[in-house]
Chain A
Amino acid sequence: EVQLLESGGGLVQPGGSLRLSCAASGFSFSNYAMSWVRQAPGKGLEDVSAIRDSGDDSYYADSIKGRFTISRDNSRNTLYLQMNSLRAEDTAVYYCAKSRGATVNTNYFDSWGQGTLVTVSS
């Protein structure tokens, strides 16, 4: 059974940093692209970033470009999102999601975690 477990969320001040982690199990992590999707309070889903199986290709939504960095450690079956220069509008539940394929040109997300809440507030 595929399991994705996010961690690292919490309360941070504007301008601060956080690193989210997503521990994966139940599938061959190194063979699949992975993504981060977020949901702000009362809002819909927003595709934030994705990274291919090998880690050498990625993309970012314009809203987080230059501030967030996606990475992965295939030896630890773990996906990361380093979030810097955080803003109030980054407040959201952050989900990691497994892609159906290996590249960032995914077909769809076939498994999701339950999310971790990031709150940016002074």
Chain B
Amino acid sequence: DIQMTQSPSSLSASVGDRVTITCRASQTISSYLNWYQHKPGKAPKVLIYAASSLQGGVPSRFSGSGSGTDFTLTISSLQPEDFATYYCQQTYSTPYTFGQGTTLEIK
């Protein structure tokens, strides 16, 4: 199975900050990388697919980049509703493994 490693595991930030979360794959996955936002008790929500494509309805402050093994999710200006856990996922080969998650907390 392809291992996905996110960093950091947790992050404290303030409203208005720019934050970056990284995700590294254990082997090349081309651009088969997605980012999800998950809030407690809610359904996860896709933000970015194919490494850099913004899902419809997702605010433009979210962006993704990378290919091969190294990827980033950037939130340009944090809003109160962005405090959540973020997961990367590879869909290069089954099983479609997720990173361990990055919890974004209010500073």
A residues sitting closer than 8 Å to B (CB atoms) are 4, 37, 44-48, 50, 59, 61-62, 95, 97, 100, 104-115
B45, B49, B94, B100: the one contacting A50 at CB < 8 Å is: B94
A48 to B44, CA, bound (A): 16
B residues sitting closer than 8 Å to A (CB atoms) are 1, 32, 34, 36, 38, 41-46, 49-50, 55, 87, 89, 91, 94-101
A46, A104, A107, A113: the one contacting B43 at CB < 8 Å is: A113
> Does the CB pair B100–A112 fall under 8 Å?
no
A67 to B68, CA, bound (A): 34
19 examples of A-B residue contacts, CB within 8 angstroms:
A44-B101, A45-B44, A47-B89, A47-B97, A47-B98, A59-B94, A59-B95, A62-B95, A100-B49, A104-B94, A106-B91, A107-B50, A108-B46, A108-B91, A109-B36, A109-B44, A110-B55, A112-B43, A114-B42
